[in-house]
Structure 1
């Protein structure tokens, strides 16, 4: 199955889960290869472009966000675009290692070769008690029951 546009529901779902797994690997150099060299991003209030900026951004992200675990789900798609809903949990090394969960949406645009050429992310962090975590050690993020109240 091709993971380059045009997308079908099946290929869009596979693309989303591959991105989820890639980000859960937390390797900025490997992740940056999934984007075009001139890819443009908006991540919350940060605007960046290009592989070097992506690597730097992700390196700093995971210096702050320890114990990071992410789940992405397909929200919608067109021929060369995918929208994703996501949740991730982390310990904030800049805030006393408090547990936080980010809720958000991303929209992605893809080049003909299947690499992402544009990524926009909007997200909100919520402090949570450790007992409220979904993505604990050993749990498959894809199997966690996320209630409708959190979708």
Structure 2
């Protein structure tokens, strides 16, 4: 099982960051590289389809949403990436001075020989999410 985790400080109150990060149907609003996001259903069990800039599509399912702890968990149902058993987690924690910490992590199995490539690709994606949130709240 492989693990990846990225986090960063966002200059905005935890409630505002959580509101945006927990909106399962709008990942394209914070992650450059995701050109479109459509959603079927509401709440836990909803399925989103992400269209990547290269045209690839990833289908993900919302597994849990803990508003009190500000933790969202999802799984990948279908992806062009050579990974299986993927569980992703987004979490927003309150910092002092009205700032927040956004963390994005996952566990997954990668095809043999692809472990490092998949870790690198997912780290890059998660860093785009951190950067997108930082830019969204920089003004």
TM-score interval, smaller chain: 0.3 to 0.5
Larger relative contact order, structure 1 or 2 (CA cutoff 8 Å, min sep 6): 2
TM-score norm. by structure 1 comes to 0.34
If you compute each CA radius of gyration, which structure gives the higher value, 1 or 2?
A: 1
